[in-house]
Structure 1
Amino acid sequence: MARISLQHRRTAFVRAMEWYSRRKYGEVLSPGKVALHNKGVLRTMLLMEGTAARWNRLDPTLRALAGMVASTEIGCSWCMDFGFWEHHHRGVDPVKLRAVPQWRDSDVYTDLERAVMGYAAAATATPPTVTDEQVERLRRDLSEEELVELTAQISLENYRSRTNAALGLTSQGFKETCELRPA
């Protein structure tokens, strides 16, 4: 259960934010409801997310796997749920997304994907446990531009996951909508 109220006075601003969220995602996102308590935080969050959405150097599957590993390591069920939904709708293989919690034992990943996931786990550890060998392994397949974007993506997911987990936000059922089969 959320550790902060998800309810707000029905101001025009709140109604506009809810309308936007429903239009874009089908429902009002819990992290948005939390951020509505502090407009400065909300504004920064929206600016950061809007800017990060334009990062485009890293392969979408690598981006998805890195972010979902960070969410798994932190234990953010909200981020895992929404991440599955978001990346599924962007064309990332759902088999790979589903296997993230057991990525170390799964055979669905390429060597590069596995290296990215190991890097994400090491970067998420507190303190980070990234090694020179991990970075050198990634540099064989990724440009410096891609490696910087990968690291920033992992850091952004750490911000999201740590915030959501600390505030007690849990799954909103997004993943289940991906599992529905057309009639």
Structure 2
Amino acid sequence: MNGTRFNLFENEFGAKFAKRFANAGLLVQQSSLPKATQELMALRASQINGCGWCIDMHTKDAAASGETAVRLNLVVAWRESTVFTEAERAALAFTEEGTRLADAHQGVSDETWAEVRKHYDDDQTAALIAVVALINAANRLAIITHQQGGTYEPGMFAAAVN
């Protein structure tokens, strides 16, 4: 890859879209779904989709919020790890099944849905759905425009949502 193809923030329509997209993300961040869970979900979907920019962003944002290196490193192998709660495991399974729609033709399984509902209330479930939808869209935006990981600094987009 030869660098970024297109900067949405430098285009009038793209900047308007990016601001609204970021505001949707801000709404989810303000929900009652734990921030750590949101970051773990975003990281896992980004790993599946191969989005270096989003992996960089969510790893750094999670670390800045106090997430441990052990948990961040084990997200990719969460099923074979002991460092995640049952609720986080349900959220990670939900993330994988909601991300791998083409691979898991049924989408989110009834079993995973039941686990999610056991651990999360209605508002948190709505936020879980929104996290999966938003991170998959963000992964596509970054991959299409060739945003590469490595240069993200926590908080660098705070001004974009105001």
TM normalised by structure 1 equals 0.72
How far does the alpha carbon of each residue in 1:52-90 deviate from its partner, in whole angstroms, 9 at most, with x for none?
Answer: 213321011111111111101101011101111112112
Within the alignment, does 1:116 sit opposite 2:91 as a pair? yes
Query: RMSD of the alignment, in Å?
Result: 1.9
Deviations 1:124-173 (A, max 9, x none): 11336211221111111100110110110111000111121222222124
The runs of 4+ residues in structure 1 deviating greater than 4 Å are none
Task: Tell me the residue number matched to 2:160.
Answer: none
Q: What residue identity is the alignment partner of 1:156?
A: L
2:59 is the alignment partner of 1:74:
no
Give the residue type in structure 2 aligned to 1:40.
Answer: F
Greater Cα radius of gyration, structure 1 or 2 = 1
Q: State the percentage of identical aligned residues.
A: 22
1:47 aligned onto 2:25: no
Structure 2 CA distance for aligned equivalents of residues 163 and 54 of structure 1: 19
* Compared CA separation, residues 173 and 68, structure 1 to 2 (3 A): same
Higher RCO (C-alpha under 8 Å, 6+ residues apart): 2
Equivalent pairs, count: 147
Question: AA paired with 1:41?
Answer: G
* Separation (CA, whole Å) in 2 of partners of 1:48 and 1:150: 16
Unaligned stretches of 5+ residues in structure 1: 6-33, 176-183
Which residue type is aligned with residue 86 of structure 1?
A: D
Uncovered stretches (5+) of structure 2, i.e. residues with no partner? 154-162
Calculate the TM-score normalised by the size of structure 2. Answer: 0.81
